[in-house]
Amino acid sequence: MLSTQGICSLALFHAVMMMMTVTALVDSDDVITRDEQIYVLIGAHARCERSIRAQMPLVTEDDCVPEWDGIICWPRSRAGQLVSVLCPEYIYDFNHRGRAYRQCDASGSWELVPSINRTWANYTECTRYLTSNHRVQEEKVFERLHLMYTVGYSISLASLLVAVSILCYFKRLHCTRNYIHIHLFASFICRAVSIFVKDAVLYSISDQDEAEQELTTEKPHMAGCKVAVTLFLYFLATNHYWILVEGLYLHSLIFMAFLSDKNYLWALTIIGWGVPAVFVSIWVSARASLADTQCWDISAGNLKWIYQVPILAAIVVNFLLFINIIRVLASKLWETNTGKLDPRQQYRKLLKSTLVLMPLFGVHYMVFMALPYTEVTGLLWQVQMHYEMFFNSSQGFFVAFIYCFCNGEVQAEVKKAWLRRSLASDLKQKARMTNS
């Protein structure tokens, strides 16, 4: 369907789209493999045949009969009419805002091209995305996005590893709250590593020559590719569910205060790591039996909802918890500081609390959640992608920075450890001097 250059560009687009946290409802602009494109075309052909059978009783002698040309289902048309049809959304490479045209001549027949004796059709608007200028522009955008999220996830990964080491090393920091933080940090780490692994696997496949890309037989490396994609989806889901666990824990401490005991950590652990394993396993079974085509890095139609719906549900629930917590904080702030603080100071304190909680609750996921993706490299698409790439890749860093590096207890323990180390070093140095 595309050249080797196009395949490499699609692989990069793939990494970007798969890396999205499925906060937007992905529509028909998803990248699809050749086998999946053929499968979708077969379905469109079947729908067209049903439509043709329904229209045939209405066709008169002077009408052009409805027909399927292999790509578009053309409706019945009156003589002398120029027919325009939207470029079908089930063809990935097409410009879905454009139109295709056919001419029904005066005799009630579709106009032919005499030189090749085939029906005339104008697909110029549909194929605008296949021009070299558009492809070059698209590749530049993808390269910039790839660089952005690679740097973001690398910084997040490094900071999270340090944060986990600190929380595990100091025994005074071992408590239910910090155990949950460690699991959350671990989910961010696994998510970042799985993204790097998935990208490496997808790029190794996209770097093959065009002849290999055209093969329809299963390749040995496809099994590893499917495993990489499956692990990516699992760790993506676990990351969202550990964010949900953090929200549930904080909400419960504020409203019920019954989750402070370590015994509840097992229930929270099952929610964070176990629930995603259930629906991802269901997706793997469905994908293997119903749409086992190439690498599983494509949504494969409605099968994507098996893992997208639970993730979207976790995002929505967490956002509602966030709103409720902010509401309670605002009411308590006004009750306790009425007449004591200037209203502007109260707003500043509330704003500070809100900004601190936003990374933990993943509030940024709600911004473009219900907005479908528009034209690739369009202004709105670029704004959306750059926004999500930045916040998704750097969320781990913000969480580690706020809830570990800026935590007073953590800073106190690190200072104590540093003082003990300095004191021990000084004592050893004095002992050597005394011995000498």
pLDDT band of 274, cuts 50, 70, 90: very high
CB 237, CB 280: distance < 8 Å = yes
CB 322, CB 314: distance < 8 Å = no
**Tokens for 110?**
């579709």
pLDDT at 90 over 70: yes
pLDDT at 27 over 50: no
- For residue 81, give Cα distances in angstroms to 63, 108, 261: 10, 9, 76
Average pLDDT, the chain: 78
pLDDT band of 243, cuts 50, 70, 90: very high
Residue 10: the pLDDT is 37
Q: Which fold has domain 131-422?
A: Rhopdopsin 7-helix transmembrane proteins (1.20.1070)
Angular region, 306: left φ>0, alpha ψ -120 to 50, beta rest: alpha
Distance in angstroms (rounded) separating the CA atoms of residues 146 and 248: 33
pTM score, whole prediction: 0.68
CA atoms within 13 A on the CB side of 237: 26
Lowest mean pLDDT among 62-66, 248-252, 297-301, 351-355: 297-301
Beta strands in 105-173 (DSSP E): 112-113, 118-119
CB 128, CB 137: distance < 8 Å = no
Digit-coded pLDDT (tens) for 39-64: 788 888 989 999 999 988 888 888 89
**Tokens for 156?**
């997040």
Digit-coded pLDDT (tens) for 149-198: 899 999 999 999 999 999 998 888 888 888 899 999 999 999 999 999 98
pLDDT band of 133, cuts 50, 70, 90: low
Q: Where are the domains of the chain?
A: 29-129, 131-422
CB 310, CB 240: distance < 8 Å = no
Specify the CATH architecture of the domain 29-129.
Answer: Irregular (4.10)
Beta strands in 43-114 (DSSP E): 67-68, 73-74, 82-86, 99-103, 112-113
What average pLDDT does range 270-294 have in this prediction? 88
Residue 74: the pLDDT is 92
Distance in angstroms (rounded) separating the CA atoms of residues 371 and 383: 12
Residue 432: the pLDDT is 78
